[in-house]
A and B are shown apart, each in its own frame.
Chain A
Amino acid sequence: MNELVHPYHCFIRPTVTHTTFCPGCGDGTVAQSILRAIDGLGMDMDDFVFVSGIGCAAWIPSPFFNADVLHTTHGRPIAFAFGIKMGLPDKKVMVVSGDGDLVAIGGNHLIQNARRNIEMTVICVNNGIYGMTGGQAAPTTPMGVKTTTTPYGTFENFFEDISGLVIAAGASFVARWTTAHPRQLTNSIKKAIQKKGFAFIEVLSQCPVQFGRKMGTGNAVQMLEDYKKRSISIKEAKKLSPEELRDRIVVGEFVDLDKPEMVEEVTRMIRRASGEVQEVVDAGRG
């Protein structure tokens, strides 16, 4: 029998029978977008080490992906990934985690490693809420929203532009998409994997159970519909005023540039220090 087989099931750990996400959660769409990018590049799961933190999005690679996976403590996956990349510079290191993990508790590791421009791909799945613990306010929860820890509405300003933060910190590649853009997301992930530098992709992902219900934005389909309606490409967005951009989601690839990458710089430093290459003689010493 010539039965149709899902092309990405071969990337799933054999002991895993299904995704761990709630029905309609966008995280599964992100998972598939990653696998499609890897497959599209003709790469193998053994070319990668995946690192995740704590929260729903951390379960995208762990245990789902049939690869080396380090499921770390809350907020720290990028710091663990730093050590892995330094130890295995020839492997692709990919961090997949949520907005609470990477931007709240782990914010400084995100900033500092974007600054270092160490080669790794960081996929920040932004659902605007703490889903796993039952719908608490995140730094990405829009102001005024009632959550389980803000029953009278959040009273804090929120991160509207995580990508902007990472751009300012110095990453080589930064893109934002939503789960309504899985094809574009896959294309950006392909570029991110190949980037010599810190590559950051923010994906807005629907959480129908904790976010949709609380915000009144509805179920998975309604949330996807909302992402589609509010999204605007970076090119189009440039033509609009900040007023006109209120409540819009600017999507696209914001930054794609070449600059010194840390692993390469470290390798160069080691070559100099170990005497493998001669130190450049200071001209002033003549």
Chain B
Amino acid sequence: MDTLRIYDELCKGVEECGICIYVCKEEVFRPSETLNQKGYRPPVIVNEDLCTQCENCMIFCPDLAVVVSEKKRKKGSK
């Protein structure tokens, strides 16, 4: 299972928002080359391996457009 998922269609763009990139300490994201259907530029995951699953991107995202897999669940405790 993936660690991260971005719902491209929910995103309102890194130019005006960009909170996910700002709150990620590990530089997991960068702006996408392409726009979504609404004309916004979502982030893309470039360094998934660096993700510490701190969930900042998910918790801060105003559009519920990022999800991070739960640490515990990954360890199989849940």
- Can you report 19 residue pairs joining A to B where beta carbons are below 8 Å apart? A3-B5, A4-B1, A4-B4, A5-B67, A6-B58, A8-B64, A18-B9, A19-B10, A21-B12, A23-B16, A23-B17, A24-B18, A24-B19, A26-B62, A28-B61, A28-B62, A29-B61, A31-B64, A221-B18
Contacting residues of chain B (51-71) with chain A, CB-CB under 8 angstroms? 58-64, 66-67, 69
* Chain B interface bracket (under 10, 10 to 19, 20 to 34, 35 or more): 20 to 34
**Nearest CB to that of B66 among chain A residues?**
A6
Kindly provide the distance from the CB of B43 to the nearest chain A CB, expressed in whole angstroms. Answer: 13
Q: Give complex CA distance A236, B59 in Å.
A: 26
Q: Give complex CA distance A6, B4 in Å.
A: 10
Contact B62 A36 (CB under 8 A): no
Given A4-B67, A24-B18, list of 7 further CB < 8 A pairs?
A3-B2, A8-B64, A24-B62, A26-B62, A28-B62, A220-B17, A221-B22
Main secondary structure of the interface of B (DSSP, over half): loop
Contact B59 A19 (CB under 8 A): no
Partner of B64, one of A12, A23, A24, A221: A12
**Residues of chain A with a CB closer than 8 A to B7's CB:** 6
Give the A interface residue count (CB, 8 A). Answer: 33
Contact B5 A220 (CB under 8 A): no
Q: Would you list the 3 A-B pairs with minimal beta carbon distance, nearest first?
A: A28-B62, A23-B12, A23-B16
**Residues of chain B with a CB closer than 8 A to A3's CB:** 2, 5
Kindly provide the distance from the CB of A259 to the nearest chain B CB, expressed in whole angstroms. Answer: 33
Contact B62 A4 (CB under 8 A): no
Contact A4 B59 (CB under 8 A): no
**Residues of chain B with a CB closer than 8 A to A21's CB:** 12, 62-63
Q: Give complex CA distance A44, B69 in Å.
A: 22
Q: Give complex CA distance A36, B62 in Å.
A: 13
Q: Give complex CA distance A281, B11 in Å.
A: 65
Could you tell me which B residues sit within 8 Å of A by CB distance?
Answer: 1-5, 7, 9-10, 12-13, 15-19, 22, 40, 58-64, 66-67, 69
Contact B64 A220 (CB under 8 A): no
Contact A27 B22 (CB under 8 A): no
Kindly provide the distance from the CB of A27 to the nearest chain B CB, expressed in whole angstroms. Answer: 7
Kindly provide the distance from the CB of A236 to the nearest chain B CB, expressed in whole angstroms. Answer: 23
**Nearest CB to that of B13 among chain A residues?**
A23
Q: Give complex CA distance A22, B12 in Å.
A: 8
**Residues of chain B with a CB closer than 8 A to A2's CB:** 1
Kindly provide the distance from the CB of A28 to the nearest chain B CB, expressed in whole angstroms. Answer: 3
Identify the interface centre among A6, A36, A182: most chain B CB within 10 Å of its CB: A6
